[in-house]
Amino acid sequence: MRRCPVPLGGQKVLEAGGPTLIAGVLNVTPDSFSDGGALPNVEAAVAQARRLVAEGADWLDIGGESTRPNAAPVTVEEELRRVIPVLRALRERVGVPLSIDTRRAPVFVEAAAAGASILNDVSGLRDDPALAPAAAATDVAVVLMHSRGDPRTMDQLARYDDVVAEVQEGLAAAVARAEGVGIARDRLLLDPGLGFAKTSEQNWCLLRSLGRLRSLGLPLFVGPSRKRFLGALTGREAPTERDTATAALCAHLALEGVEVVRVHAVAPTRDAILVLEAARGGVA
Ligand code: HH2
């Protein structure tokens, strides 16, 4: 069941029954788990953004704080310093919607003014009580991700009796937080939060049960890219060696009807989705 279209900013909408969109990751951080330090300045970020769009990215997700396990917190000032010049530069130069991957209201507010039309909050509006009202005051779409604790504590919090039911409950609570401050339901996307307070087995369990998360009636956004559970399965130690695994999983997710996948390497995922759809007769 697709509850679309979701407005993504500009002319772009997430169409009901449309193709799976690819959100390309643009991390302007020194310490992200797979690409930290790769984009040391605005020019490098713009060049990478253009590459991702040329490879087929439908939107770009800009983040200035690593949320990998045990990542050191950054100050709001530092997060702003990292993301705002990049958003300003991209607004004029790439023709796709921009999301801001942040847990903090002041970063969101400035990011929205600088061109972000989507909020991607890995805390599902849990961390900063000022973030939900700030988002409600705009017309942005909001990705509500399930997580527990914070980057320092999440690995210890991966304990569930029924991971799918508990993630579903957590997402329902996030939807209630959004609706409670007046964010319309048709602006929301839901994300199971792979790797955020989840073991490999719990990630696979969620991936096999996306139908149950669909019962909340909202589009799904899934971010498997280069994560540890893919390394554990394939034996690929280096996160950058996990793009084939990522692409294969994203092609499966596309066939499952997932509306958006978030990836670092856009080209392999785009090709894998096209090939699997063609082989299954999904495209002409
Ligand atoms: N994963 C990461 C960051 N943001 N947002 C959503 N909605 N879903 C995800 O699965 C997700 C996310 C972690 O990946 P990355 O940005 O590459 O790493 P880091 O947090 O180290 O910057």
3-state secondary structure the chain: CCCCCEEEECCEEECCCCCCEEEEEEECCCCCCCCCCCCCCHHHHHHHHHHHHHHCCCEEEEECCCCCCCCCCCCHHHHHHHHHHHHHHHHHHCCCCEEEECCCHHHHHHHHHCCCCEEEECCCCCCCCCHHHHHHCCCCEEEEECCCCCCCCHHHHCCCCCHHHHHHHHHHHHHHHHHHCCCCHHHEEEECCCCCCCCHHHHHHHHCCHHHHHCCCCCEEECCCCCHHHHHHHCCCCHHHHHHHHHHHHHHHHHCCCCEEEECCHHHHHHHHHHHHHHCCCCC
What residues form DSSP beta bridges with 263? 24
- In terms of DSSP bridges, do strands 188-191 and 118-121 run parallel, antiparallel, or are they unpaired? unpaired
Q: Which two tokens stand for residue 46?
A: 């713009």
Residue 147: per-residue pLDDT: 97
Residue 2: per-residue pLDDT: 45
Confirm whether 227 is a catalytic residue: yes
Q: Which of 65, 140, 145 gets mutated to test ligand 1 (max ligand atoms within 8 A of its CB)?
A: 145
Exposure pattern of 68-107 as b/e (b: 16+ CB <10 Å)? bbebeebebeebbebbbbbbbbbeeebebbbbbbbbbbbb
Residue owning the nearest CA to atom 21 of ligand 1: 32
What is the C-alpha to C-alpha distance for residues 120 and 197, in angstroms, rounded to an integer? 18
Residue 192: per-residue pLDDT: 98
Residue 33 CA: nearest ligand 1 atom is 21
Residue 7: per-residue pLDDT: 78
Ligand 1 cavity residues, CB under 6 Å: 25, 27, 29, 32-34, 63, 66-68, 101, 120, 122, 143, 145, 191, 193-194, 221, 223, 262
Residue 68 CA: nearest ligand 1 atom is 21
Residue 18: per-residue pLDDT: 79
Coil, strand, or helix at residue 89?
helix
Confirm whether 198 is a catalytic residue: no
78-108 pLDDT, tens digit each: 999 999 999 999 998 898 999 999 999 999 9
Q: Which two tokens stand for residue 236?
A: 């690929």
Which one is catalytic: 12, 227, 228, 270? 227
Per-residue pLDDT of the chain (284 residues; tens, 9 = 90+): 444 567 787 667 777 677 899 999 999 999 888 888 888 899 999 999 999 999 999 999 999 999 988 888 899 999 999 999 999 999 988 989 999 999 999 999 999 999 999 999 999 999 999 999 999 999 999 999 999 999 899 999 999 999 999 999 999 999 999 999 999 999 999 999 999 999 999 999 999 999 999 999 999 999 999 999 999 999 999 999 999 999 999 999 999 999 999 999 999 999 999 999 899 886 54
